[in-house]
Structure 1
């Protein structure tokens, strides 16, 4: 057999080997992350729920999903273990994000206008090219259509069909 005939098979086997190797590394890293969970850390489940770890067992973890509300989850259901700053920013709404140099990133309109302390109301309204009267007319038509669908707005005995 010629080596050129076997070359596509060799490349295919090599690619499969590299893909399975990287998948195993990701699985091992996820397992290590789940094993390193400690009570008090914030986590995100694979379903997107944020919770605080209360107890860690062999295959399960007790999560506090709301104050006083506890639920038992499989360790495999934990998608990410979050650091304290990220967890507080997402769950508690702490907006104090830091730049790489450690300065606080403002989360208001002052970052857009360059003026410190500017409110979002101070920023000029952006014109999207729509006529406000046309918007009001479209809303009233939508309201009338919704009432017709519910049978509201008709006198007794009237129907919307002909």
Structure 2
């Protein structure tokens, strides 16, 4: 009877031992992976950001997240150290050749709008800009009454009694 009551505790202790052992192996593998980092290698953070390693400190790593933009991260925040080919494929979208065939976004928003009036503006002189319709109504004509106060007094006049 003593063996039956102790059996669940023995199984529980064995399961905890196996779980801590596998967690310890994962920690060692992650530490080993971080030791293979060197300046210039591509990494992915645990948040999913891809960057290039610039400097490595004791507990921190400086990453270049965009050209000329550096950020300091904890070493523990590095989720994976990537091979050069894989990093270039993910970040640049290219295989062995690093030519980028995607269109370049212009600095202004002129190409982002549809040019519906291109045919209409073709006959205008080059220096003249097309007229924009901002949805405003034209000024009321002279024969139309303007909005006046209902009491016949102009704004700001004091009433008399």
- TM-score (normalizing by structure 1): 0.56
SS in 1 for 2:43: strand
The superposition leaves residues 24-58 of structure 1 with CA deviations (integer Å, 9 ceiling, x where unpaired) of 11011111211221011100011111000011111
Q: Which runs of 5+ in 2 are unaligned?
A: 97-161
Equivalent runs, 1:25-64 vs 2, <5 Å: 25-64=25-64
Match of 2:77 in 1: 77
Preserved contact between residue 85 and residue 95 of structure 2 (Cα < 8 Å): no
The superposition leaves residues 76-129 of structure 1 with CA deviations (integer Å, 9 ceiling, x where unpaired) of 111111111110110010146xxxxxxxxxxxxxxxxxxxxxxxxxxxxxxxxx
CA distance in 2 between partners of 1:56 and 1:2 (Å)? 56
For the pair 1:14 / 2:17, whether they are aligned, the reply is: no
Name the one with the larger helix percent.
1
Equivalent runs, 1:115-154 vs 2, <5 Å: none
RMSD: 1.3
CA distance in 1 between partners of 2:18 and 2:57 (Å)? 34
SS in 1 for 2:38: coil
CA distance in 1 between partners of 2:70 and 2:5 (Å)? 61
SS in 2 for 1:90: helix
CA distance in 2 between partners of 1:54 and 1:20 (Å)? 34
Runs of 4+ residues deviating >2 angstroms? none
Match of 1:23 in 2: 23
- TM-score (normalizing by structure 2): 0.57
